[in-house]
Amino acid sequence: MAITVHRGDLPAHVQFSGIVAVDTETLGLKPRRDRLCLVQLSDGDGSAHIVQLAAGAYAAPNLKALLADPETVKLFHYARFDVAVLKQYLGVVAAPLYCTKIASKLVRTYTDRHGLKDLVKELLNIDLSKQQQSSDWAASELSEAQIAYAASDVLHLHALKAKLDEMLAREGRAGLAEAAFGFVPVRAELDLLGFEDDDIFIH
């Protein structure tokens, strides 16, 4: 399993095929306040690429091109947050996309546990450590534990998608899921505009 850390941008020779798992690490949960530090990517083959972004150094043309590529599906867990933070700092809309959290909520109606750790445990029988979740992602030298944790957030998304796609098909909700994924960039934009605590569909 190869994990490669890149500073500033993805090298041009790193290519992804069709569906790329994407996660971000930031300094906190408020996209306008807490800056983007890492973007993790995986092809689903057990390897991961981590792009480390320094404060204010968000040029990253190769990374932006990949995220904005209409031919590449960006596979997230809780896309709403990542899409907002990627829009805020890189200025790109990371679409088309698939969100394992939305898919889970549409089919795993027997539980309210839709965290990545819960999904990976139930659907793949893998125990995911969340120990490094709260750490200083802006550190210029990341620890081995941070790197392993950051990578682990993208390594299982393809396998999860395969399981969730079976469940969506079984329950006849694949079309609904696709439509919900399509709305995520709008939801993310509403979050960035200050509507994060409002459900605009509520009476």
**Given the rule CB under 5 A, which residues bind Mn ion?**
23, 153
Smallest gap from residue 137 Cβ to Mn ion (A): 9
| DSSP letters for 113-125 | --SHHHHHHHHH-
For Mn ion, the closer of residues 153 and 191 by Cβ is 153
Smallest gap from residue 180 Cβ to Mn ion (A): 21
For Mn ion, the closer of residues 43 and 153 by Cβ is 153
Beta partners for residue 22, in sequence order:
41
Q: What are phi and psi of 52, to 5 degrees?
A: -95, 125
Smallest gap from residue 153 Cβ to Mn ion (A): 4
Smallest gap from residue 23 Cβ to Mn ion (A): 4
Smallest gap from residue 154 Cβ to Mn ion (A): 8
Distances (CA, A) of 151 to 157, 167, 183, 200: 11, 26, 27, 35
For Mn ion, the closer of residues 119 and 168 by Cβ is 119
Q: Are 126 and 103 in contact (CB under 8 A)?
A: no
For Mn ion, the closer of residues 23 and 43 by Cβ is 23
Tell me how far apart the alpha carbons of residues 100 and 34 are, in angstroms, rounded to a whole number: 24
Token pair for 75: 């596979």
Smallest gap from residue 152 Cβ to Mn ion (A): 8
Distance of CA 67 to the CA centre of its chain: 11
Q: Which position's Cβ is nearest Mn ion?
A: 153
For Mn ion, the closer of residues 9 and 23 by Cβ is 23
Distances (CA, A) of 129 to 8, 60, 76, 139: 27, 30, 18, 20
SS3 11: coil
For Mn ion, the closer of residues 132 and 174 by Cβ is 132
